[in-house]
Amino acid sequence: MMNKILFAMLYCFISVYPAMPDNDGAAYRCTRSVAKVRKKTKIMCQKCRITPLGRRFCHIFKLILSYLRKKLLFCIEFRKQTTPREGFLKLIVKMKLFRSIVELQNELFEVRKEGKNVGIVPTMGALHEGHASLVKRCVKENDVTVVSVFLNPTQFNDKNDLERYPRTLEADCALLESCGATYVFAPSVEEMYPTPDKRQFDFPPVTTVMEGAHRPGHFNGVCQVVSRLFYIVRPDRAYFGEKDWQQIAVVKALVRFLGLGVQIVECDTVREADGLAKSSRNTLLAADERAIAPKIYEALKASKEYAKDHTLKETHDKVVADINAVDGLEVEYFSIVDGNTLLDVAQWDDSDYIAGCITVYCGKTPIRLIDHITYKNK
- Residue 142 φ then ψ, to 5°: -135, 155
Q: Is 372 considered catalytic here?
A: no
- Those residues with Cβ within 8 angstroms of residue 7's Cβ, 6 or more apart along the chain or in another chain: 37, 40, 41
- Residue 170 φ then ψ, to 5°: -60, -45
- Those residues with Cβ within 8 angstroms of residue 275's Cβ, 6 or more apart along the chain or in another chain: 294, 297, 298, 301
Angle subtended at Cα 180 by Cα 179 and Cα 183, rounded to the nearest 5 degrees? 115
Amino acid type, 18: P
Do the beta carbons of residue 330 and residue 290 sit within 8 Å? no
Task: Give burial (CB, 10 Å; 0-12/13-18/19+) of 8.
Answer: buried
Do the beta carbons of residue 372 and residue 338 sit within 8 Å? no
Do the beta carbons of residue 288 and residue 362 sit within 8 Å? no
Would you call the peptide bond into 204 cis, given omega within 30 degrees of 0 as the criterion? no
Active-site residue, selected from the candidate residues 131, 218, 316, 372: 131
Q: Mind telling me the catalytic residues?
A: 131
